[in-house]
Amino acid sequence: EITLFRNGKNETGWFNLHYQPIREDDNSISGILASANEVTDQVLARKQTEDSNKRYNMMVMQSPFAFAVLKSNDMVITLANDSIKEMWGKGKEIEGKPLLEVLPEIKDQPFPVLLNKVYTTGIPFYANESLVQLERNGKMEDVYFNFVYQPYREADETISGVAIIATEVTPQAILNKKIKASEERFQAAVNAVEGVVWSNNATGEMKGEQLGWAALTGQSYQEYQGYGWANAIHPDDTQPTIDAWNEAVRDRKNFIFEHRIKLKNGDWGHFSVKSIPLLNADGLVCEWVGVHIDISDRYRAEKAIIESEKQFRQMAELMPQKVWTADAEGNKNYFNKTLLDYTGFSFEELKGNGWQKIIHPDDWGKNKTQWEKCISTGQDYETENRLRSKDGEYLWHLTRAVPIKDEDGKIQMWVGSKTEIQKLKDDEQLKGDFLKMVSHELKTPVTSIKGYVQLLLMMLKEQEVTPSSFLETPLLRIDSQVKRLSRLISEMLDLSRIESGKLEIQKELFSLDVLLAETVEDIRFTNTNHTINISPDFTGMVYGDKDRIEQVIINLINNAIKYSPDNNVVEVRVYAVNDTQVGISIKDDGIGIDEEHQQNIFNRFYRAAGQSEENYAGFGIGLFIAKEIIERHNGSITVESEKGKGSIFTFTLPLEK
């Protein structure tokens, strides 16, 4: 964090800094090479995310909704808020215990099976007014809950447990059961006809007993006779309804209408009405039969959509970001003022496929293919492209869009944004050019130094003078440091290749367990202070870049050694994950990584707090490169860690078929 005087005022910014001594041929320091990269936007975004997470956690723990997180096959309670503890009635100290130890009475109920199904399939389970038998206050009780079992996923999308969100609805459930029984009797009376069925005489008056209408409105027999039914219509809708009804009766045409009705409980409901005349043998109307269908939910939904769209557009018009929307088929149907002002085009010019006018010709084909794929699959859309300004200049933008779906999962519309990233692109280009230049400039002298050191060591071994160890020890240390420097230079070159899309993967068929054994043996020669144990639980072939996989293994084991200064044992395991994947895990008992840093540890140049340059050398790109290599093999790499208790890094590869 640095305060600078910029643009006529003091500003606080955040930077990644690197100071490196410049050495002359005699190894004396003649200056300092300094480099910096401003990361203010990333830091502020991270701080905002951290604040948001804190507020979210506080909201969860204080929520009136019961909430708990169960981990592993044993469903160990790792998190439970006060609401669920009170609901279960088992005391406060339940974290760290398996669910069946806390609630043994549910063992023979369906819930353990449901939890395991969610845990193994990843498919959520929802239940309303579900009966649970719980022991509370020393006695068994029948309790009803609305709840959801949701798979709990880690940052890498693996399922590690199940989250429970529940609300006790015992009084409502008992009442609803009584109401349901009453409704079933009523439904039988009207032969399960959807809606409320009623009839009027030939002149349009309601006569006789109308069970459905009475149950809907609460009107008595005397109250709804004749035109008394109109008294249940909303005052603003009463006269329009009567006028339309009289016109239908007079003209003997179907009556179709919508209006509000006062329900038996005093609420107002929205209904669609349809009535048709029944004719006798002489062609005269003998009766009118009608049905009222409750459309309250649809009305509220339509009103909410209209209001939501209005608020969205008002908000979008005020946003400095470029916002757009499209229909379910992907046709653009809205651009906010910021986007239109930037391009200089009108909405009419850009709607539909007119947006091709503002995309760089070299980006159009790729963007169109990506967009069409997202339309067909429903996946989120994200791409980088160059957007044409009204001045004719093309600037890089990050374009994103997400589908808005209904409760059945059907796409209703797409909402997207375009964020200018030209400065980031320029910075990345400068940084990549700098790293490439430095790497190439350093590679030649480092190679020469390494050659001379190896030559001197060879000459010492050929001498018969015993005290040669006086020179051998420092030469071996120099050789070790040169190897480290060579590795850093290689990493910078790999980073440059990754960013330019030129990192090559040369695949071949090889034995993974043999490669692991040979790699570990090489590392043991230069790291005699640490014990590296291998558990070879898999023997088989994989198809991949042998050298690159070896590079990943070396990086992860060296990291385990580097970050375990006080614990000298590293455990390496190779095993079959399933029928299609093999995994390698590297476990240490070192300093560990805080949970807040674990999701960022594979980002380039990222160094977790506390890993200072003084104690732990490196640029923070090794794990980024390892992740790129593994993902280019269609594998994955993850970390499990706890501060002060060590880390387990695991990567998987597809098995050779």
Question: Which of 67-71, 226-230, 346-350, 599-603 is predicted least confidently?
Answer: 599-603
pLDDT tens track for 312-368: 666 666 667 888 888 888 888 888 888 888 899 998 888 877 888 889 999 988 888
Q: What's the confidence (pLDDT) of residue 222?
A: 93
pLDDT at residue 410 greater than cutoff 70: yes
CA distance 75 to 63: 22
Distance CA(224)–CA(4), nearest Å, equals 80
Nearest CA among 636, 634, 574 for reference residue 602: 636
Give residue 557's pLDDT.
92
Which residues on neighbouring strands pair with residue 261, listed in sequence order?
A: 233, 269
Sign, Cα dihedral of 461, 463, 467, 468: negative
Give the 3-state secondary structure of residue 454. Answer: helix
What pairing do the DSSP bridges indicate for beta strands 541-544 and 411-420? Answer: unpaired
Contact between 436 and 493 under an 8 Å Cβ cutoff? The reply is yes
CA distance 453 to 438: 22
Residue 189 has pLDDT above 50, yes or no: no
Predicted TM-score (pTM) of this structure: 0.36
Count Cβ atoms below 10 Å from residue 18 Cβ, excluding itself. Answer: 13
The torsion region of residue 582 among left (phi > 0), alpha (psi -120 to 50) and beta comes to: beta
Q: Which of 182-196, 336-350, 595-609 has the lowest mean pLDDT?
A: 182-196
Helix axes 512-526 and 546-562, enclosed angle (nearest 10): 40
pLDDT reading at 611 higher than 60? no
Q: What is the mean pLDDT of the chain?
A: 82
Does the pLDDT of residue 45 top 80, yes or no?
Answer: no
The predicted model gives 370-384 an average pLDDT of: 89
Q: Average pLDDT for residues 42-47, to the nearest whole number? A: 78
- Which residues, in sequence order, are bridge partners of residue 126? 148
Please, what's the largest Cα pairwise distance for the chain?
133
Q: Which residues contact 634 (CB under 8 A, 6 or more apart)?
A: 654
Question: Which pair of structure tokens corresponds to residue 276?
Answer: 């048709």
| Contact by Cβ (8 Å): 71, 96 | no
> What is the structure's pLDDT at 186?
46
Q: How far apart are CA 602 and CA 639, in angstroms?
A: 9
Q: In b/e form, how buried is each residue of 329-339, taking b as 16+ CB within 10 angstroms? A: ebebebbbebb
Q: Please give the C-alpha separations between residue 605 and each of 26, 140, 197, 619, 622, in angstroms, as whole numbers.
A: 31, 58, 71, 6, 9
User: CA distances (Å), 635 to each of 425, 431, 549, 629, in order?
Assistant: 28, 28, 11, 9
Closest CA to 410 of 504, 328, 353, 522: 328
Q: What is the pLDDT of residue 607?
A: 62
Confidence of residue 103 (pLDDT cuts 50, 70, 90): very high
368 burial (CB, 10 Å; 0-12 / 13-18 / 19+) is middle
Distance of alpha carbon 439 from the chain centroid: 36
Q: What pLDDT sits at residue 302?
A: 76
* Spatial distance between the Cα atoms of 412 and 328, rounded to a whole number of angstroms: 5
Query: Could you tell me whether strands 332-335 and 322-327 are parallel, antiparallel, or unpaired per DSSP bridges?
Result: antiparallel
Amino acid at residue number 614: E
Name the helix (H) or strand (E) containing 251: helix 235-251
The single-letter DSSP state of residue 467 is G
Give the residue, 71 or 89, on which the prediction is more confident.
Answer: 71
Confidence of residue 556 (pLDDT cuts 50, 70, 90): very high
Which pLDDT belongs to residue 610? 47
Q: How far apart are CA 74 and CA 60, in angstroms?
A: 23
Output the pLDDT for position 457. 67
In three-state form (DSSP H/G/I as H, E/B as E, the rest C), the secondary structure along 178-242 is: HHHHHHHHHHHHCCCCCCEEEEEECCCCECCCCHHHHHHHCCCHHHHCECHHHHHECHHHHHHHH
Nearest CA among 628, 653, 651 for reference residue 638: 651
